[in-house]
């Protein structure tokens, strides 16, 4: 199994410096990862490094809390695409979801998808804060808003991806939307299990270690 084609090689730490982003980009090229995932402020830098490679550039919107206004998220998304992003990973408004107002959630997702057009939209639902009914509601909202992916976690919550959450999300997504598992994926066995459960992407900062262990 070629894990590299599932990996969004990720660096979203608040302490990330330009040289760290440069290193991430070079690792992504060397290992032929499908994408990198970085803060928006480093998009132009990443684009300059990756312009001749096949590595896609993903960034985050409304990150990590999701509590920004829809207008702010739409602006962030449009700005990200203008600066070179191929993909946008947005965070839903978790508090509003928990009130049961799913219309707000899917409207926001739809607005962002409309703003970025054919570019890939991944919707982070932050599963660690949701019960199963809320997870299902969030996935259905992502589906209704025409998202390309639903994603488990920011990596900044109280927990990351779990096998159970991915199974639940895949049930809702079916073949109409892809699933990205993110947060806490640090070894090859875990990565393979997620792929077997049907995920199309793995968000991890341990991508290099995963492919090294694959070769050994």
89 alpha carbon, distance to own chain's centre:
4
Spell 58-74 as b/e; 16+ CB within 10 A means b: bbbbbbbebebebeebb
Tokens linked to 156: 């900044």
- The Cα-based distances of 110 to 87, 117, 148, 156 in angstroms read 15, 10, 11, 24
Helical (H) or strand (E) element with 60: strand 56-61
- Given the residues 56, 113, 151, 178, select the one marked as catalytic: 151
Has 89 been annotated as catalytic? Answer: yes
> Which among 87, 105, 117, 93 has a CA at the least distance from the CA of 142?
105
Cα 41 to Cα 77: distance, rounded to the nearest angstrom: 12
Concerning whether 175 is annotated as a catalytic residue, the answer is no
Q: Tell me whether residue 136 is one of the annotated catalytic residues.
A: no
**Given 89, 148, 165, 170, the catalytic residue:** 89
Looking up tokens 């994926």 gives 185
By annotation, the residues acting in catalysis are: 89, 151, 180
């Amino acid at each position: 199994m070629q894990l590299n084609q599932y990996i969004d090689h990720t660096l979203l730490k608040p302490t990330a410096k330009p040289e760290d982003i440069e290193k991430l980009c070079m690792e992504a090229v060397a290992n032929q990862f499908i994408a990198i995932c970085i803060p928006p402020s480093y998009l132009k830098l990443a684009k300059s490094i990756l312009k001749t490679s096949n590595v896609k550039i993903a960034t985050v919107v409304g990150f990590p809390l999701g509590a920004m206004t829809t207008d702010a998220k739409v602006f962030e998304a449009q700005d990200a695409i203008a600066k070179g992003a191929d993909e946008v990973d947005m965070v839903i408004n978790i508090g509003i979801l928990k009130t049961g107002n799913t219309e707000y959630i899917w409207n926001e997702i739809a607005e962002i998808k409309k703003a970025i057009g054919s570019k890939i939209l991944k919707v982070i639902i932050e599963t660690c804060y949701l019960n199963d009914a809320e997870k299902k509601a969030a996935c259905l909202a992502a589906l209704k808003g025409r998202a390309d992916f639903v994603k488990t976690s920011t990596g900044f919550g109280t927990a990351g991806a779990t096998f159970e959450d991915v199974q639940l999300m895949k049930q809702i997504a079916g073949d109409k939307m892809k699933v990205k598992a993110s947060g806490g994926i640090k070894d090859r066995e875990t990565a393979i299990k997620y792929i077997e459960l049907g995920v199309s992407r793995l968000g991890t900062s341990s991508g290099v270690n995963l492919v090294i262990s694959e070769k050994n």
